[in-house]
Structure 1
Amino acid sequence: MDISTADPDTVLDLLDRRLVCALQVDGRAETGRIAEVLGVSARTVTRRLARMQQAGLLRVVRMPEVEDAAVGALLLRVRVLRGKVDTIAQALADRPDVPFVDVMLGGQEVGAVMLSDAGARDRLLYGQLPATAAVTETTTHAVLHAFSDAGQWQAGYLDEAEVAALTPAPAPPAPTVQTPAAQTPTAQTSTAADHPREKPPLDALDRALLARLSVDARQSHATLAAAVGAPESTVRRRLHRLAAAGLLRTHATVDPRLLGMAVDANLWLDVPPSRLAEVGTALARHPQVHGVFATSGPTNLVATLFCADHGGLYRFLTGTLGPLGVDRAETAIVARAVKRAGVPLQRPRPRP
């Protein structure tokens, strides 16, 4: 069942929320490991996850690596005529190169993230959107640096020990060869950032596996092997290699309100360039923030965050953002999330 058809009246209890958090830590965590860490039976974990997935409340998909996908991506703010927001939002959500779409409070703005080549980008920005009578204005921001993204956010229902127990072991560093210059006393010491993790060349089997995991990241090795027509042992080796290269990041897609987060907001911030890295890093560490990006455009930093209510958003603005010395902040509240990490979301009905 698609998340777009989920029953909005369903409520997740504390154990459901903890299970979602476990998948936020590791979307491919085995049922037995989740059960052991959370102190419940494997049968309970299997039953609960199956119920949430079959009801369309939860879906786990593969996300591209943040630096590869985000840097150069476009953040779009599309102003539309009143009454036309659903049409424009759905048209953007139907595009495979637009993984995130939100309708903003007020019903006259759609926010979207576009990951595409120059040709598709230009056709949308200079052809399709201007030719659409319902669109009145489009503001485009290019992502210059990603401090954090949605695949790294956790809702906070696990303690530090549980998170540590569920976190996959880091891949061993690739062997390096010291050059003569690196052995001399005058050579500068390099850091990990100077040597980004190299991506392995991808063949048809790798791409087939990644495509399958982009739809459902919790498919077993046996299921994947049957789908791609390869031995299960080969699939295991390939996934291990892809994980070591950082290509198996996952996103547990769920309506944040089911996790107790009623307010979703985008903050468009104007930060002094000398403090941009400091402020971006500080916001990325905050437990309510699920994305921070340095951007081009009239503002130079955008942060997205979840809050329990509007009072929580106010406290974030005054208690967290205020002391960071941000020159200006525009707060845009999300009225409805249409698509997240490539997954369509249901449109909620108001509760009586």
Structure 2
Amino acid sequence: MERSAKPSFDELDHRVLQALQLDGRAPFRRIAAALDVSENTVARRYRTLCTQGLRIVARTLPERLGDSRWLLRIQCAPDATTPLAEALARLPESSYVSIDSAGTQIHCGITAPDTDGNETPVLANLHRMSRVTEISAHCLLRVYEGDPPAWYTKLHPLTPEQTALAPPRDVPAPQDEDEPALLDDADRALITHLADDARATFPQLAAATGLSTATAKRHLDRLRASGLLQISTEFPPRHLGYRLMSYLWLRVDPSCLHDVGTALAGHRPISFAAATTGPYNLVATTITRSTTDLYRYLTDHVGHLPGIQYVETAPALRQIKRLA
């Protein structure tokens, strides 16, 4: 079988991708002005990136709605791994699903509504499956990196003027909010429509939701400014030459947990880092070009952070679902 040509990227492609990660809804004219190119050029590069896997989606932060996020590690029989991973990927509450390099463990992120301490339906169903041999569930306590994702912006940092594309926020970080946010019908209608296409125009949103254009804009501006709604830009890292995604499960001295999490968030290979419950109190995701790069990162950077007691590294063999 003939292998398809590998997508080629130049500096402008990287800049457009980074600008979209700063603000996935930024008009092409704003991006063009920031990058000093024409609006047509940005639109053309955007369309090409879309054919290569670019997705811009909207998602709410579960913590702002009183929900919680969990990371599941599911050990199962080899012949059951792929069917179960695909079934989990179809669930609306799952955000990502991947299979480890051994082909017997699934990593899955899910959102669980507040159930007064009762087990979530996903966990209950998994426990009843005969081909599942072990499950560990880790509740996210604080996210240091990944809300919204910022990995692409670390590759070739933009200038301070260009990073001004990022929309302003006018409230404290979502994880510092005490009371869950309340959504009205207009908010929910907008969120539903933006889930698959976060770049939908205000006239398109008005037509899809039955709201006026002005009302749609007012609600969306409020949702974004409050930090409740995040616009996430997703693009396959392999097209940029980064083919290895790995999970790092770390045990860290509690007194050093915040410092280690903050330090990891600033590292270029880190796409996600969060404090969790369970035997590992910090989990991170790395994106590297190769196992050699991963080794260098672990020895040159992670190994020098004070307070780390133990690190388990789990490369992902295949990603079934990304950024729902």
Pairwise same-fold verdict (TM > 0.5): yes
Mapping 1:159-308, distance limit 5 Å: 159-161=158-160, 163-171=162-170, 196=177, 201-308=182-289
- 1:199–1:245: 8 Å Cα contact kept in structure 2? no
Mapping 1:6-21, distance limit 5 Å: 9-14=5-10, 15-21=12-18
| 1:11-50 superposed Cα distances (whole Å, 9 cap, x missing partner) | 1412333222111111111111111222222112112212
User: How many residues align structurally?
Assistant: 316
- Report the AA paired with residue 14 of structure 2: R
Change (3 A) 1:8 1:78: farther
- DSSP-derived class of the 1:84 partner: helix
Partner of 2:54: 58
| 1:49-104 superposed Cα distances (whole Å, 9 cap, x missing partner) | 12332x26111011323743798321101112123221011011011111111111
Q: How far apart, in 1, do the equivalents of 2:14 and 2:47 lie?
A: 14
Partner of 1:157: 156
- Report the AA paired with residue 213 of structure 1: L
- Report the AA paired with residue 105 of structure 1: S
Change (3 A) 1:318 1:66: farther
- 2:66–2:114: 8 Å Cα contact kept in structure 1? no
- 1:198–1:245: 8 Å Cα contact kept in structure 2? no
Q: How far apart, in 2, do the equivalents of 1:56 and 1:267 lie?
A: 28
Partner of 1:327: 309
Partner of 1:125: 123
Q: How far apart, in 2, do the equivalents of 1:194 and 1:339 lie?
A: 25
Q: CA deviation at 1:245?
A: 1.0
Partner residue of 2:21 out of 2, 6, 24: 24
Q: CA deviation at 1:281?
A: 1.2
Q: How far apart, in 2, do the equivalents of 1:8 and 1:298 lie?
A: 43
Partner residue of 1:72 out of 60, 68, 83: 68
Change (3 A) 1:237 1:249: same
| 1:111-134 superposed Cα distances (whole Å, 9 cap, x missing partner) | 0011022669533323x2133232
- DSSP-derived class of the 1:29 partner: coil
Q: How far apart, in 1, do the equivalents of 2:304 and 2:188 lie?
A: 45
Alignment identity in percent? 35
Q: CA deviation at 1:8?
A: 7.2
- Report the AA paired with residue 68 of structure 2: G
- Report the AA paired with residue 310 of structure 2: R
- DSSP-derived class of the 1:303 partner: strand
Q: How far apart, in 2, do the equivalents of 1:162 and 1:66 lie?
A: 32
**Structure of higher CA gyration radius:** 1
- 2:58–2:229: 8 Å Cα contact kept in structure 1? yes
| Structure whose residues are more often strand by fraction | 2
| 1:129-188 superposed Cα distances (whole Å, 9 cap, x missing partner) | 1332322211111212222225232322342335423222343x6xxxxxxxxxxxxxxx
- Report the AA paired with residue 122 of structure 1: T
* Greater Cα shift, 106-115 or 227-236: 227-236
Q: CA deviation at 1:329?
A: 0.3
- DSSP-derived class of the 1:202 partner: coil
Partner residue of 1:113 out of 109, 116, 122: 109
- 1:66–1:146: 8 Å Cα contact kept in structure 2? no
Q: What TM-score do the two structures reach when normalised by structure 2?
A: 0.89
- Report the AA paired with residue 32 of structure 2: A
CA RMSD of aligned residues (A): 2.6
Change (3 A) 1:198 1:46: farther
Partner of 2:32: 35
Change (3 A) 1:106 1:60: same
- Report the AA paired with residue 117 of structure 1: P
Partner of 1:338: 320
Q: What TM-score do the two structures reach when normalised by structure 1?
A: 0.82
Q: How far apart, in 2, do the equivalents of 1:206 and 1:193 lie?
A: 17
Gaps of 5+ in 1: 1-6, 174-190, 343-352
Q: How far apart, in 2, do the equivalents of 1:39 and 1:45 lie?
A: 10
| 1:270-303 superposed Cα distances (whole Å, 9 cap, x missing partner) | 1111111111111112222111111111111111
Q: How far apart, in 2, do the equivalents of 1:269 and 1:62 lie?
A: 30
Partner residue of 1:136 out of 133, 136, 152: 133
- 1:35–1:45: 8 Å Cα contact kept in structure 2? yes
